[in-house]
C-alpha cells in the first residue's frame, strides 16, 4: 500500500499526456481555446455528478469551503493559460515546463501544510527543473544563456511557466481540501465548480464560433480528450490522498516526457533529441523522488 501512489500517478500522467495531445489536435483545427476548455469540462460533468451521487458524503472539516474558494480563481487562470500554451506553441516546448511545479512546491507545502522534503527528493526536484534548460540545447551555439533566452521567446513556454507557478498553489490547496473531505468527493466536485466558473467566460470568448457550423463539431472533437481528462482528474486526486504533494506532482510530470513523444509522433515537432535529453534529466529526477519518497 505504501507505494500504491506510484502506479496510480503513472496512469494519471499517461491520461494527462494523451488528453493534452488530443486537445492540441482540436486546437490545431482552429477551435477557440476558451470554448475547447469549456467543452472538455462540460463532457466531464455528467460522470462526475454520478460519482458524487454514488459515494457517501464525507464530513467536511472546518476550512474546506474557504480553501476551495481560494483555489478556484487560481485554477481558472491556470486552465486558461494552459490551453493558450497548447494552442500557441509545440507540445515539446510547453508541457515540459510543468516540471517546474515541484520546485515551487518545495516552499509552498511547507508554509501551508508543514510538509517536509527529503534531501533525496529535493535533489530530484532540482534535477527535473534543470532538464528545462536542455529543452533548447540547439540554441546553445549562440551562448550559454541562449537556451534560457529561447524560453522567453516562446509564448507558450511563458504561459506554461505561469501555469506551473499557479499549480504549485492549487495542488497544495487541493491537498488541504482533500484532507478536509475525501479524494473522490473532491475529484467530483472541484471540476464541476471550475466548469461553472469558466462558463460565462468561455461562452463570451467563443460566441462567434458557436454561431458557425464548425461550432457543432467541437463537441465531437473534444469527447476523447475529455474522457482522458476525466481519468486524469480522478486518478490525480486519489494519488494526492496517498502521498506527499511534491512527490505526486513530480511523478505526474512524467507526462511531459510522454508529451514530447506525442509531439514528435503526431505533430512532427523539431528538436526531438534535445527535448528527450531534457526529458531524460527529468525522469532521473523522478527516480530520485520515488526512492526518497518510499
- Spatial separation of the C-alpha atoms in residues 155 and 165, rounded to whole Å: 16
Enter the C-alpha cell of residue 287: 527516480
- According to DSSP, residue 243 is labeled S
Residue 212 has pLDDT above 90, yes or no: no
Q: Residue 215's pLDDT band (boundaries 50, 70, 90)?
A: low
Residue whose C-alpha is closest to residue 125's, from 147, 146, 144, 107 = 107
Residue 1 has pLDDT above 60, yes or no: no
Residue 262 has pLDDT above 60, yes or no: yes
CB count in 10 Å sphere of residue 115: 17
CA of 260: how far to CAs of 54, 95, 101, 110, in Å? 37, 8, 18, 31
Burial of 11 (0-12, 13-18, 19+ CB in 10 A): middle
Question: What rounded mean pLDDT belongs to the chain?
Answer: 84
- Spatial separation of the C-alpha atoms in residues 265 and 193, rounded to whole Å: 35
CB-CB contact of 293 with 244 (8 Å): yes
- According to DSSP, residue 143 is labeled -
Taking the whole predicted model, whether its pTM rises above 0.75 is answered as: yes
pLDDT per position as a tens digit, 41-51: 999 999 999 99
The per-residue pLDDT for 290 is: 63
Q: Residue 196's pLDDT band (boundaries 50, 70, 90)?
A: very high
- Spatial separation of the C-alpha atoms in residues 34 and 197, rounded to whole Å: 12
pLDDT per position as a tens digit, 66-105: 999 999 999 999 999 999 999 998 888 788 888 777 677 6
- Spatial separation of the C-alpha atoms in residues 183 and 161, rounded to whole Å: 27
- Residue 135 sits at φ, ψ, to 5 deg, of -65, -25
Give the percent of the chain with pLDDT over 90: 42
Amino acid at each position: 500500500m505504501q507505494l500504491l501512489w506510484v502506479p496510480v500517478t503513472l496512469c494519471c500522467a499517461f491520461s494527462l499526456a494523451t488528453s493534452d495531445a488530443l486537445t492540441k489536435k482540436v486546437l490545431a483545427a482552429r477551435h477557440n481555446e476558451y470554448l475547447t476548455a469549456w467543452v472538455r469540462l462540460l463532457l466531464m460533468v455528467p460522470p462526475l455528478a454520478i460519482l458524487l451521487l454514488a459515494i457517501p458524503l464525507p464530513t467536511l472539516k472546518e476550512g474546506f469551503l474557504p480553501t476551495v474558494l481560494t483555489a478556484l480563481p487560481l485554477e481558472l487562470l491556470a486552465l486558461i493559460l494552459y490551453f493558450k500554451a497548447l494552442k500557441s506553441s509545440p507540445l515539446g516546448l510547453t508541457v515540459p515546463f510543468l516540471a517546474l511545479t515541484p520546485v515551487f512546491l518545495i516552499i509552498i507545502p511547507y508554509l501551508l501544510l508543514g510538509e517536509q522534503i527529503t534531501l533525496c527528493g529535493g535533489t530530484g526536484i532540482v534535477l527535473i527543473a534543470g532538464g528545462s534548460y536542455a529543452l533548447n540545447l540547439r540554441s546553445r551555439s549562440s551562448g550559454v544563456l541562449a537556451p534560457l533566452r529561447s524560453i522567453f521567446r516562446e509564448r507558450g513556454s511563458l504561459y506554461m511557466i505561469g501555469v506551473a507557478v499557479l499549480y504549485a498553489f492549487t495542488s497544495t490547496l487541493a491537498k488541504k481540501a482533500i484532507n478536509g473531505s475525501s479524494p473522490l468527493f473532491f475529484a467530483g466536485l472541484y471540476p464541476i465548480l471550475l466548469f461553472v466558473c469558466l462558463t460565462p467566460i468561455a461562452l463570451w470568448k467563443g460566441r462567434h464560433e458557436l454561431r458557425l457550423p464548425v461550432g457543432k463539431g467541437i463537441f465531437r472533437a473534444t469527447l476523447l480528450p475529455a474522457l482522458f481528462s476525466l481519468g486524469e482528474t480522478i486518478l490525480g486526486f486519489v494519488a494526492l490522498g496517498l502521498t506527499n504533494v511534491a512527490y505526486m506532482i513530480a511523478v505526474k510530470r512524467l507526462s511531459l516526457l510522454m508529451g514530447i513523444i506525442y509531439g514528435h509522433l503526431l505533430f512532427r515537432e523539431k528538436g526531438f533529441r534535445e527535448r528527450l535529453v531534457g526529458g531524460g534529466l527529468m525522469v532521473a529526477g523522478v527516480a530520485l523522488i520515488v526512492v526518497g519518497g518510499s
